[in-house]
Structure 1
Amino acid sequence: MASHRRPKPPSQARTTVLTATAAAAVALSAQSASADPLPDPNKKGVEAQIDRLYEEATQATEKYNGAKERAGSLQKDVDSLQDAAARKQADLNGLRDRIGAIAAAQYRSGGIAPSVQLLLSSDPDAYLDQASLVDQLSAREVSDLQRFQSQQRDLLQQRSQAATKLKDLRDTRTELESKKKEIQGKLAQAQKLLNTLSAKEKARIAEEEERANRASSRTDLGNESSASSRAAEAFAAAKSRVGMPYVWGATGPGSFDCSGLTSWAFKQAGVSIPRTSQAQASAGTRINSLGDLKPGDLIIMRTDLSHVGFYAGNGQILHSPKPGAQVRYESIARSGMPFMWGVRI
């Protein structure tokens, strides 16, 4: 397979999206966070607090992503159950019409026979146990009654399931809103702290960010091959996004959070993987040693599994790291996040 040396950087318009200052990048557009490195223990004061807030925001983002995925699944379940219940109700209405026609005909001829009373009974099961009454029904009437009973039970069950799913959906949407507020609150706090820094300090932070981007553009990835063609395709897709901004909850193609990048990249390779870093951690074959990883394998970071990226070769990770950053290559050893394990899809 061809060399994995880092390809030519994308256009200037893309690579300068968030390099003005780290503060400007956190400018809370109602989006922004999901995979920040742990605070550097050498940093002090305000910067350490900002790093901590970024970390907490990115951890909350993965929880938000999970809740959003659950909400989508629950909505599909609710829609399916409600559609099935509507169809079932239409069938029951048709059966009631036939039973009503029998009752009307018998009433006009001198009264409703026990057989029709059976059909109209609120407890037809009890009547069916009485063989003498069943004998008075035609085969068609018995069939209609049995079908009515079965569909009525199914309808009640579907309505009960739909009600349960609706409650779960409401609870999940409440969780979504809570996580969204938490993320925005963390980022607002970080912005407030950034605003307390002097112009010189802000310029230094911006230069550090730009230096990381320049280092990414010079990364030597070595010549390792991917473990599979699908991993190679996903990795190639992710490489095409270098320079794109980190945005919390984003799944591309112009911005990403950490798991948004990996799930989007595999989708380009025709492979569906879970949305969140925690779910992606068990989406394939687990690789416990860094030395056994191949380009395109997923890398799971942090003890709570709240960060994910691609192994890029030569000890590098390709990821969307944090608020105010771009999709880029970084040394795993210097990322500040503990490596947990790799995942081969």
Structure 2
Amino acid sequence: MSINNLTPEELEAYAEAHGEKKFRGKQLFTFFNKSGRVDLEHSNLPKNFINQIPRVDDAKIFRTYVSKLDDTKKFLFELNDGNLIEGVLMHYKHGYSQCISTQVGCRMGCVFCASTKKGLVRNLTSAEMLRQVYTVEAAYHIKVSNVILMGSGEPMDNYDNVLKFLKLLHHPQGHHTSYRNMTLSTCGVVDGIDKLAREGLPITLAISLHSPYNDLRSDIMPINRKYNLEELIAAAKRYSEATSSRITFEYTLIAGENDTRDHAVALYSLLKGLRAHINLIPLNAIEEYDKGRSTAEAIQSFKKELERLGAEVTIRRELGSDISASCGQLRRNFEGGIL
């Protein structure tokens, strides 16, 4: 058991079980989640209590890569077991947004994603997700206001740990991040979407779509063979209604594959009637996928067609594009000796 995965109530029970007053549990929670620290030897807790505490999960900054184009920073974090994960810190006018990982690797098999090429190594604990945020905040003396679960891994494939992370990050005795400032990105795990909808938390849901046709989507995203587009869109509607929120649909544009006018019309038809925002993403190529990104002209034409039809659509601003760009590339390039 890792002690910094626990809620205040769980920590209070832990303190009492180890001969301490309940308030020591709250002290621990505040130390981990408000102060963002794990160096218990420098806390004001009794030494005999500290000596009884088992594992503390951590995610230390192993490497930092700073974009020469903007203020974006990309990180490799090292976990206690030596595994590496990655994340991104982005600075906007409204504050700092951080993209974090939820797994070491991924088993979803999306063809153009670097994270999945070596499969899933293991799930992250809730504390390992929290530590990605707290470590960056301490390193740069900042407060992260928006957290995006869009790094390596499929959050719905690590549902219980992810849900606990979201609740711990939101806790008023801790970081106290608003649920509305959290975004969870999924490739389309319908069961997970429905489970999260039942929680009633107003977390922004982002769904990686990438095609309005089942046959093409199944080719590039194996999850579509389990949950097809009709099932996925129905789940998105249920989530939107349960949380009174708008769904973001991520759509990576691939030259000659999914970027024609017909694709735009089909995409609009698929999402019609749903509170939706479409986020267009130029493809970041990897060695194992031989398709190219759409031209700037094709991307603009696709956007204009969607706007003509009445869709809400933006083109994702590419931040830190001079650093290994897509999820998993940083870790893989470092381990391969490229970085």
Q: Shorter-chain TM-score: what band?
A: under 0.3
Which structure is higher in helix share? 1
TM-score, length-normalised on structure 2? 0.25
Q: Which has the higher contact order (CA 8 A, sep 6+)?
A: 1
TM-score, length-normalised on structure 1? 0.25
Which structure is higher in strand share? 2
